[in-house]
Homo-oligomer: A and B are copies of this chain.
Amino acid sequence: MAISLSKTFLSIAHQVFPSEKCRPVSFSGREPQLQRTTSMGFATRSLRMPRVSSKTSGSLFSSIDELDKETREERRVADVWREIHGVDDWVGMLDPMDPLLRSELIRYGEMAQACYDAFDFDPFSKYCGSCRFTPRQFFDSLAMADHGYVVSRYIFATSNINLPNFFKKSRWPKVWSKSANWIGYVAVSNDEISKRLGRRDIVVAWRGTVTRLEWIADLMDFLKPISSNKIPCPDSTVKVESGFLDLYIDKDVNCRFCKFSAREQILTEVKRLLEIYQLEELSLTITGHSLGSALAILSAYDIVETGLNVLQDSRAVPVSVFSFSGPRVGNVRFKERMEVLGVKVLRVVNVHDIVPKSPGLFFNENVPLLLMKMAERLPWSYSHVGVELSLDHKNSPFLKETGDLSCAHNLEALLHLLDGYHGKGHRFVLASGRDPALVNKATDFLKDHYLVPPYWRQYENKGMVRNEDGRWMQPERPKLDDHPEHTHRYLKQLGLASHH
């Protein structure tokens, strides 16, 4: 995805370089020179053209140079997608930050973010716990049509497992499902974007938790041999956190949405898609934020361990995980097994986020009570997998100082940090001009003087509409599809059909 020159200049035009010393928005009306340069930034139209004061012009132009260089290289994703996908374990691509890798990471991060934006988490909604949109209209509804993917299947998980702070339940007595929660989707790149990407890309995106972090305390019970749950693994010392495994494996035969486990849904759908596109160049990219990252890693492992990614002509489709703000998933043996299998994992984290430090966090008096509680019952043998790309929200001049843990864990904030990251010690400069206003979708993290409302992502009247009688009510939605007929066929092919 080459950045055109005109687009580069437009991004620069949008940029502002706030700092505590030269506060962009002067409420007093003094400092007109500074104010003209930096006022409002992204939140108004006035910054469409670059306005440079003598004080900041140096840095502005150096940043244009910087981006120019990136543009001049004219590398195309189609040519380097295997490197971006981690074939060389991202060696030399993270510092300085490879611009194509950065924009691809943001692209996949947005596909993980889509799981939040589409999720109905209002307990007063009849459809709480479901996806607000039909699979066909998924990306259109989120104004993400230009991502060029088509959702081929939704994934559901059962809330019957012990994760009270993860699952969302409607207060309505008659709901779309008593035990299911929508937990992600499988999507395929369309012809146009596949050409640009150099391959047909199958994406699995797993939803994480909405905002609250209490789910960590629920989860961290104990490590369980992965083979104990009928996931094939030659080594019984390979263990993963049992909560993640349960979420991935459990099903409820009485519910039409989770009569298949998330695992079964994923495996059958990936098998089906690989069959359809087996004559093309292919990639499998699995992404997720927070708990979704754990499921991404687990499902990537599963797909490769079961050999699902090996086509009939013996080609192995590369499987990579782009993980955002993810916790540790398993023990060191799990990490080693992932390496043997060649599952590539790039984990993007904010150093101030506690979730990637869990389990195995260094506990001290600053740690909230719920984490202390968690620590008491933990073995200390968890290990991260893959390669870490560690960012620091204190480097972004757009963000305010806050002790709010959910800010440091927020995915939109992390994508903002990615956009400004050029390598260790490099100045924070937004590369794509990605809208910093997105940070405040579900946080109060942007500095107040940008005047972006905190927690601004909300639905008109909480989804209530007036009917023809003038009464306010929740509109009915189209009947939700559960699972395609062909699931059984693919389960048989996978040797999993005996469970039904």
Contact = CB atoms under 8 A, between A and B. Distances in A.
Interface in A298-312: none
A472 B25 contact: no
Given A173-B25, A173-B29, A459-B460, A45 B467 contact: yes
A91 interface: no
- Tell me the number of copies of this protein: 2
Contacts of A26: 173
Contact of A473 (B28, B43, B448, B459): B43
A448 B171 contact: yes
A150 to B, nearest CB: 21
A471 B173 contact: no
A456 B448 contact: no
Overall SS of chain A's interface: loop
Residues of A in contact with B, size category: 35 or more
A125 B451 CA distance: 8
Interface string A448-465: 100111101111111110
Given A458-B460, A460-B459, A124 B453 contact: yes
A438 B472 contact: yes
A8 interface: no
Contacts of A467: 45
Contact of A453 (B35, B44, B453, B464): B464
A199 to B, nearest CB: 26
Given A438-B472, A471-B42, A472-B437, A456 B451 contact: no
A470 interface: yes
16 contacts: A27-B173, A35-B173, A42-B471, A42-B473, A45-B467, A48-B469, A126-B451, A171-B448, A437-B472, A456-B461, A456-B464, A457-B461, A458-B461, A458-B462, A459-B460, A460-B460
